[in-house]
Amino acid sequence: MANLSQLKFAMATSIFLSAFIFSLLIFAIVIFLELDVFAGLAIAIGASALFILFQYAVGPSIVAWTTHLNYLKPGENPWLENTVKELADKAGLPMPRLATVPSNTPNAFTFGRTQGSAVLAVHEGLLRQLNQSEVRAVIAHELGHVKHKDYIVMTVLSCLPLISYYIAQVTLYAGAFSGRGRRDKDNSGAILLVIGVISYAIYILTFIIVMRLSRLREHYADAFSAYETGSPRSLSSALAKITYGLSIAPKTNSSARSFYISDPGMAKQEIASIMDNKNRYDLDNDGVLDERELELAMEKEAKSTWQQANSLFSTHPATFKRILLLREIEQEMESGQYSNDKIYRHV
């Protein structure tokens, strides 16, 4: 049985592990460059702190710039504004700044440096393709991220794997190029190759840590939405529509994929895998997968060995796993035996 303190612990440990592993990378670079050990330790800690503070400072601006936000003025979309205000007040949250994204894909996301400066953005495609109860459930999900402050942690953490990856790319290329020279008597090429390999290993480790936290926070936000709206079924329906809508949409910007309610790339993989095995899932052989058949297909695909292995590198849990969680909450609500102080028990 989960609770909010476990999410906070997961966020704290993810920050510590990622920063510690990244510090080891910087420390290894310093050692290979034969600098003083204590100076190397200071540089490692200082560089990690500097990168984290830099990402915290500029991360939200990068997200806003790359997603082409259109900030809404008061009264520009009364229904959306009133719905967000109602749910934010219910959750005891300050009203976030609202924005829309000029995209036909059904998606939404939240970002910012603090709860008070949070921005809640919805794609125009979401408002067109989902009904009001489904949009309301999506908004509650995004407010769950604001309530948990996990989007702040994701903003900070996302820079470490990226920096490790770029260090690996540069050093591997430089090492390979340097190694071709005949005058490489100081083995600088070999040293750069070793640093590159270590950097790439650090990239994989930190990326897995960040992705695990990203998936966990989605489950917590789903549970928050279910109890905030009292309608788990609305979010289930919304997730199904979003996944399908994203799967047939053109390739979209992926810079904020971990912030979205659903990852466009993962949605394409989920639906493509089901369509490849459509005949097996079409139980009545009518050429169309109805809602029940689609749910069974998603359940089986989510349990496949490939899907479970691939999930290590996924920003979001498989859609069926999210729907299954919401279904458990719905059954609990129908029984009448639940309380809002234990809303994360099914995570």
If you write DSSP's letter for every residue of 9-36 in order, what string do you get? HHHHHHHHHHHHHHHHHHHHHHHHTT--
The string of pLDDT tens digits covering residues 8-53 is: 888 888 888 888 888 888 877 777 776 666 776 677 677 777 877 8
Position 254 scores a pLDDT of 58
Q: What phi and psi values does residue 260 have, to the nearest 5 degrees?
A: -65, 160
Residue 129 has pLDDT above 90, yes or no: yes
Looking at residue 109, its pLDDT comes to: 93
Token look-up 């899932």 returns: 281
Nearest by Cα to 249 from 124, 150, 136, 115: 124
Q: Is the pLDDT of residue 101 over 60?
A: yes
User: How far is the C-alpha of 166 from the C-alpha of 51, rounded, in Å?
Assistant: 13
Q: Which of 244, 268, 241 is nearest to 254 (CA)?
A: 268
Could you report the per-residue pLDDT of 163-183, keeping only the tens digit for each?
888 888 888 887 777 655 555
> What is the mean predicted confidence (pLDDT) over 216-239?
94
Greater model confidence, 342 or 333? 333
Q: Which residue has the higher pLDDT, 123 or 312?
A: 123
Q: Which pTM was predicted?
A: 0.85
Q: Which of 61-65, 278-282, 329-333 shows the lowest mean pLDDT across its residues?
A: 278-282
Phi-psi region of 285 (alpha: psi -120 to 50; beta: other; left: phi over 0): left
- Phi, psi (deg, nearest 5) at residue 123: -75, 145
- State the average pLDDT for the chain: 83
Amino acid at 33: L
Catalytic residue among 86, 134, 142, 332: 142
Q: Examine the pLDDT at 200 and tell me if it is beyond 80.
A: yes
Contact 280, 256 (CB under 8 A): no
Instruction: Please state, as a whole number, how many other Cβ atoms lie within 10 Å of the Cβ of residue 32.
Output: 17
What's the pLDDT at 123?
95
* Inter-CA distances, 254 with 221, 260, 262, 308, 337, Å: 21, 10, 11, 22, 41
Q: Give SS3 for 240.
A: helix
Active site residue 334: no
- 26/20 Cα distance (integer angstroms): 10
Q: Label residue 293 exposed, middle or buried (CB < 10 Å: 0-12, 13-18, 19+).
A: middle
**What is d(CA 318, CA 297) in angstroms, rounded to the nearest whole number?**
12
Q: How far apart are CA 176 and CA 199, in angstroms?
A: 15
pLDDT at 127: 95
Q: How far does the chain reach from its first CA to its final CA, in angstroms?
A: 7
The encoded tokens of residue 170 equal 């540069």
